Amino acid sequence: MSLIDVNNLNFKYEGSIQNVFENVSFSIDTDWKLGLIGRNGKGKTTFLRLLKGDYEYTGKISKSIEFDYFPYEVENKQMQTIDIVHEIIPNTDDWEIVKELNLLKTDSEVLYRSFDTLSGGEQIKILLVSLFLKENNFLLIDEPTNHLDSQTRENLAEYLNKKKGFILVSHDRNFLDRVVDHIISINNTNIEVQKGNFSSWKDNKDARDNFEFTQNEKLRKDINRLEIAAKNTENWSNKIEKSKYNTNNSGSSIDRGYVGHQSAKMMKKSKVIEKRVEKAIDEKSNLLNNIDRSDDLKIVPLNCNKNTLIMAHDLQIKYNNKNIFNKISFEIQNGDRIAIIGKNGAGKSSILKLILGYDVPYGGEMKIANDLKISYVSQSTEELEGTLKNFAYQMKIDESIFKAMLSKMGFSSLDFNTDIKKMSEGQKKKVLIAKSISEMANIYIWDEPLNYIDIITRIQIEEAILKYKPTMIFVEHDETFIKNVATKIINLESI
C-alpha cells in the first residue's frame, strides 16, 4: 500500500485561455478501486493522461508506482496474441496468463490466434489480463465496457471485483456499483474523492445538492430582508441627523447631543446589518457551484393512426446463407419501448437496419406500416464533421431546438463553435441524440445510443423517455437503462 498525492495541479491545453484543472489537490491509496465520473468534456481522459505523464502541467503528482493506461495501443494486430502478451509482460509464465483468462471465463485458445481475429470483448480481456499481471503498477482504465454485451460486462465486473489498484472510467451505473469502492468526481470547480460506490455517491450528492438549494433559498430571503432593513435603518439615521438642526434654541445643545447619539446608534446598526448582508452573500456564493443543472429534455413523438407499426414473424437474419439466431416473432405497437439484447454479433443491429430498409438477408416475415416516420441514432459517429449549424441544416432540423437540447446535455458556448470531428466521443453521441429528439417521429430507433455518454445525461434521457413515452426499439447494454425504460425485451439466442 502507498499513496498517490496530487498537489496544486493546473493544466490547460496549448492555445486555450481556460484551465481544464485548477489548483487540484487530493490523495488516493494504491489499494483502492476508484471510479472516475464526470460529465462529457470535463476532462476524465485528460486527467488519466496527466497522471500517466503524457501532458505537461504545473503542480506535483507524487507516486511510488508506475501507471499503465487502458486501452493499450497494440502496434501490430496481425501478431499472435500470446506474443503480444509477452511483449507487455516479458517475464510472465503462460500458466499465469491462462489462470487470469480463466477468471474472465475466456478460453485460452484465444492466445494462439492472430490478435486482429479476436472480438472486441476478447481483445479487452487480453489487454486487461496483461496489464494486471505487471508488477508494481496502477491501472488507469478508460471506458472498457463500450460495445460489450451484458454477459461480457458481467464477466469483466466479476474479474475487476477481485482486483485492486486502479482508476476506472465508466458511465455504466450498475458496473460501477459492482466494481469500485471509492469515487473520484470531477465537478465544476474541483475534484473530490469519496468512499463508496456510485449509488452511495449519488445519494450523498443528492442530499448535499438539496441542502444547498434549501440553504441558497434561505440566504436569498435573508439577504433581501437584511438589505431592506439596512436601507431603512440608514434612512432613519439620516432623518434623525437632520432633525437635530431643527431643534429650539432653548436646551438646544442637550437636544442636539441626544439626537446625534440616536443618529450614530442607528448608523452603527445599519453598518452591522450591511456586514451581515456581506457575510450572507459570501456564504451564498459558495453554494450551487458543483450542482450539474440537468434541465429536462423534450421529445415530441408523432401519433400514428395504426396501432401496430411493425410486425415480425419467424424472423431470422442470415450471414453467408446461415441463420445467426433462433426464430423470433414480435410486434411493435404505439407506446412500446422494446430493447433488443443478446451477445455481440448476435444480429441486434441487423434487425434495426432491416427495419430501416437496409439490404439485410433474412428469412421469415417482416411488415412495416406505410409512411412511418423514423428517427435513427446509429452506433457510429465517424461521419460527423463540420459545425453544428451546418449539421442541423443538413439534417433538416430546427437549429435552435437542436442547440437547446445540446445545452441541456452540458454543451457550453465554446462547444457550439467546435468542429464536430474534434469533439469527444461522448459529445458526438450527444449530437446524434439531440438530433433524434429534435425530430418528430412515429418511432425512434436507437443503436447503442449511450456509448461514451455520461451518467447525468443518461438519467436525463431516461426521464425524457418516461415523460413523453415515445415508441422505441433500441439496442443497449446498460442494464439500468433497460430496466428503467424498456416495456418489452427481445432476447436473441445465437444458434
**Residue 286: count of CB within 10 angstroms of its CB:** 11
Q: Where does 113-191 have alpha helices with state H?
A: 120-132, 150-161, 173-179
Q: Please state, in angstroms and rounded to a whole number, the distance separating the CA atoms of residues 487 and 476.
A: 14
* Intra-chain end-to-end CA distance of the chain, in Å: 48
Cβ atoms of 423 and 431 closer than 8 Å? yes
**Could you tell me the pTM of the whole model?**
0.79
Distance CA 420, CA 386 (A): 6
Is the Cβ–Cβ distance between 240 and 266 less than 8 Å? Answer: yes
Which stretches does DSSP call E strand in 233-389? 308-319, 322-323, 328-333, 337-341, 362-368, 374-377
pLDDT in tens, the chain (495 residues): 689 999 999 998 887 778 889 899 999 999 999 999 998 888 899 999 999 999 999 999 999 999 999 989 999 999 999 999 999 999 899 999 999 999 998 999 999 999 999 888 899 999 999 999 988 899 999 999 888 888 889 999 999 999 999 999 999 999 999 999 999 999 887 889 999 999 999 999 888 888 777 776 776 776 677 667 667 666 666 666 566 555 554 445 555 555 555 556 655 665 666 676 566 555 555 555 555 666 789 999 998 888 999 999 999 998 888 888 889 999 999 999 999 999 888 899 999 999 999 999 999 999 999 989 999 999 999 999 999 999 999 999 999 999 999 999 989 888 888 999 999 899 999 999 999 999 999 999 999 999 999 999 999 999 999 999 999 999 999 999 999 999 999 999 876
SS3 316: strand
